[in-house]
Amino acid sequence: MLHAARRLPLSGKIGLAIVLFWLMVALIGPFIAPYTPGAFVSEEVFAGSSGKFWFGSDFLGRDVLSRLLVGARFTVGLSVLAATLACATGTGLALTAAVGPRWVDELLSRAMDTMISIPGKVFALVMVAAFGSSLMLLTLIVAITYVPGNFRIARSLAVGLARLDYVEVARARGEGRLHLALVEMLPNMIRPLFADIGLRFVFIVLLLSGLSFLGLGLQPPDADLGSLVRENVSGLGEGALAVLVPALAIASLTVSVNLLIDAATQGKAR
């Protein structure tokens, strides 16, 4: 692991460091927050950076840093969960399609082609309008939104592998479908799949915070990084830190994941 990390190009190392930082924040953020995130601690709203409030105060005089530390946990946590869910479902269906009877493949592929023709944001909006956006629903909605994308990648990998001679040999030996999918195919899909999970994670972070920014995502009193941008958007005219910092936080997370995936996959391609 450490050896592989050392061989990453500079952009990859930076990406890895920032990703680790955010995972850390998601784990321990609430415990190191200097103030209670909901408490009104500053006299001044939209205060600038100070020794007391590193990232200033928000539109109600709350500490931006504390709210950021708690909000990051929602953004990172929900996104990791949703990305894992999306990729597990997508890959599972893809393997089913690859080793199952032809009609299963055709049915699944047709269904996924339909889903992929509905742009992600549009699909999520329709779902939110229909079902609302409780924490669990929201996670499910963004996960479902990105199942078809993962399915498409995983299926093309799996179908390519299914044609290879070593899978044919296993079939000729009389192996069952489960063995073919899990023992012969899945281990050879892991690397590209990890890259895809990372990519889905980025999309999901952007979608989740986008929904929250529109007021359709996480509902108060819970707030993820997108909600923080939304609630402080009135401070934009003054160039308030309270609106810039959470937006930059999201960007640093997504950009660093992207840099890390790119560096890691390129290293393997050579």
Positions touching another protein (CB under 8 A) are 11, 110-111, 113-115, 117-119, 121-122, 125-131, 164-166, 168-175, 184, 187-188, 202, 206, 209-210, 213-216, 226, 229, 233, 236-239, 243-244, 247-248, 250-251, 254-255, 257-259, 262, 270
Q: DSSP string of 75-124?
A: HHHHHHHHHHHHHHHHHHHHHHHHHS-HHHHHHHHHHHHHHHTS-HHHHH
Task: Show Cβ contacts of residue 111 under 8 Å, excluding neighbours closer than 6 positions.
Answer: none
Question: What is the C-alpha to C-alpha distance for residues 231 and 121, in angstroms, rounded to an integer?
Answer: 21
Shortest spacing between CB 258 and another protein, in angstroms: 4
For another protein, the closer of residues 65 and 186 by Cβ is 186
Nearer to another protein, 127 or 181 (CB): 127
User: How many angstroms separate the most distant Cα atoms in the chain?
Assistant: 76
- Output 26 or 257, the one with its CB closest to another protein: 257
Q: State the nearest-atom distance from the C-beta of 65 to another protein, in Å.
A: 19
Nearest to another protein of 47, 205 (CB atom) = 205
Question: Residue 31 CB, nearest distance to another protein (Å)?
Answer: 27
Q: C-beta of 270: minimal distance to another protein in Å?
A: 7
> CA distances (Å), 69 to each of 37, 63, 76, in order?
9, 10, 11
With a CB cutoff of 8 Å and minimum separation 6, the contacts of 138 are: 78, 128, 208, 211, 217, 218
Question: What is the DSSP secondary structure assignment for residue 164, as one 8-state letter?
Answer: S
Torsions phi, psi for 151 (to 5 deg): -60, -45
Nearest residue (CB) to another protein, 47 versus 112: 112
Nearest CB to another protein, comparing residues 35 and 202:
202
Query: For the stretch 134-144, what's the b/e string if a residue is b when 16 or more beta carbons lie within 10 angstroms of its beta carbon?
Result: eeeebbbbbbb
In 3-state terms, the chain is what percent helix, strand and coil (to 5)? 75, 0, 25
CB of 35 to another protein, least distance (A): 25
CB 242 within 8 A of CB 46: yes
Smallest separation, CB 161 to another protein (Å): 9
Smaller CB separation from another protein, 70 or 243: 243
Phi-psi region of 251 (alpha: psi -120 to 50; beta: other; left: phi over 0): alpha
Provide the minimum distance between the beta carbon of 39 and another protein in the complex, in angstroms, as a whole number.
26
